[in-house]
């Protein structure tokens, strides 16, 4: 494959950056990968597993001469990173990010982007419950969507180049406005995560059901929630702090529906419940047909092993 960017700098070396490094090498679509992270331990692990071609001690050092700079830090850390690297970005370079919210990232990052640098926000819709530099893998983005959110007046050549890059990493690329992105993600990601965290918190907190009961009997459905609720706490804190309005809107809709179902249970309205539970099956079928999940029962989990 042709080289799309000569020199790529990854700022932050967690699950997404690590997976990007593996996927870039699989594709052979970049010349050189430079990575950096604030924590010395993270940098040491990345060096030990040879995640990048070079590990830089500072973000300032990493972005020198980079043709593509990718912000892979929690949203709450982006402004301070930009304060450090903004003045050092190469003329003509592309700057992007992988943050889960987009309007807040634009507000935080834009003031630091110099004239002549192309800032194109983005969000690869892929992840796992694991985090840290060892958690990445090359296939994470395969067949997953990456939403690019080009700003008004963006250079289309640069947007196309970034789209080609993500396509080379295995992803499908689309574009959206920041507002619409934040609403769609509030539905497909942010509210589900908050609900999963809440349910696991409730289970953890009950005096009448012991923790070992919750753990042992989790295969009846609960264990699916605990996977989501094991995601990185800092990243998720920042998501909710920076996508407040859309999350609160969807949460409002959610509690409204939940109360209606709760009333149906209290009143013994079996027809209401059955209708509701029937209609939600179709959407699962759509997700499987679109290649966004497996049709295997229980996600194709390996069957339990006898101890």
Pick out residues in 57-116 that bind its own copies (CB under 8 A).
76, 100
Kindly state the smallest distance separating residue 90's Cβ from its own copies, in Å: 32
Contacts of its own copies in 224-243 (CB under 8 A): 224-231, 233-234, 236-238, 240-241
Contacts of its own copies in 184-203 (CB under 8 A): 184-185, 187-189, 191-203
Candidates 6-14, 37-45, 53-61, 144-152 — which segment interacts with its own copies by CB under 8 A? 144-152
Contacts of its own copies in 287-306 (CB under 8 A): 287, 290-294, 296-306
18: closest CA among 41, 38, 45?
A: 45
Kindly state the smallest distance separating residue 99's Cβ from its own copies, in Å: 12
75's torsion region: left (phi>0), alpha (psi -120 to 50) or beta?
Answer: alpha
Give the Cα separation of 174 and 299 in Å (integer): 26
- Work out the number of other CB atoms within 10 angstroms of the CB of residue 248: 12
Task: Please count the residues of this chain forming the interface with its own copies, following the rule CB under 8 A.
Answer: 117
Contact status: 44 vs its own copies (CB under 8 A): no
DSSP character string of 82-104: HHHHGGGPPTT-EEEE--S-SHH
> Closest CB to its own copies among 50 and 237?
237
Kindly state the smallest distance separating residue 67's Cβ from its own copies, in Å: 26
The binder of its own copies chosen from 54, 139, 161, 175 (CB under 8 A)? 139
Contact indicator for 79, 109 with CB cutoff of 8 Å: yes
What is the DSSP code (8-state) at residue 188?
Answer: I
What residues does 227 pair with on adjacent strands?
none
Beta strands in the chain (DSSP E): 5-11, 30-36, 54-55, 68-71, 94-97, 118-119, 122-124, 145-148, 172-175
Contacts of its own copies in 2-41 (CB under 8 A): none
* CA contacts within 13 A on the Cβ side of 219: 7
Give the Cα separation of 178 and 120 in Å (integer): 11
Contact status: 219 vs its own copies (CB under 8 A): yes
Contact status: 50 vs its own copies (CB under 8 A): no
Q: For residue 48, give both structure tokens.
A: 């030990």
The binder of its own copies chosen from 21, 109, 140, 169 (CB under 8 A)? 140
> Closest CB to its own copies among 156 and 212?
212
> Closest CB to its own copies among 65 and 217?
217
> Closest CB to its own copies among 107 and 129?
129
């Amino acid at each position: 494959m042709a080289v799309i960017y000569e020199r790529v700098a990854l700022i932050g070396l967690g699950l997404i950056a690590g997976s990007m490094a593996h996927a870039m090498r699989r594709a052979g679509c970049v010349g050189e990968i430079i990575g950096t992270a604030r924590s010395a331990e993270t940098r040491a692990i990345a060096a030990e597993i040879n995640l990048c071609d070079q590990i830089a001690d500072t973000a300032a050092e990493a972005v020198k001469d980079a043709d593509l700079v990718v912000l892979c830090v929690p949203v709450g850390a982006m402004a301070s990173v930009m304060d450090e690297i903004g003045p050092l970005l190469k003329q003509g370079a592309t700057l992007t990010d992988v943050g889960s919210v987009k309007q807040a990232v634009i507000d935080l990052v834009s003031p630091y982007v110099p004239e002549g640098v192309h800032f194109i926000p983005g969000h690869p819709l892929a992840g796992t419950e694991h985090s840290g530099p060892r958690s990445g893998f090359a296939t994470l983005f395969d067949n997953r969507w990456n939403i690019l959110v080009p700003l008004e007046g963006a250079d289309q050549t640069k947007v196309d180049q970034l789209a080609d890059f993500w396509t080379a990493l295995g992803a499908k690329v689309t574009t959206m406005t920041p507002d619409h992105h934040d609403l769609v993600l509030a539905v497909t990601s942010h509210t589900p995560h908050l609900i999963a965290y809440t349910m696991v918190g409730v289970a953890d907190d009950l005096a009448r059901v012991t923790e070992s009961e919750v753990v042992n009997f989790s295969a009846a459905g609960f264990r699916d929630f605990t996977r989501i609720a094991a995601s990185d706490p800092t990243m998720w804190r920042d998501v909710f702090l920076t996508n407040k309005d859309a999350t609160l809107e969807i949460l409002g809709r959610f509690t409204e529906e939940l109360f209606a179902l709760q009333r149906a249970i209290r009143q013994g309205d079996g027809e209401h419940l059955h209708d509701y539970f029937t209609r939600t099956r179709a959407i699962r079928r759509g997700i499987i047909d679109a290649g966004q999940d497996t049709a295997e029962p229980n996600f194709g989990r390996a069957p339990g092993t006898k101890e």
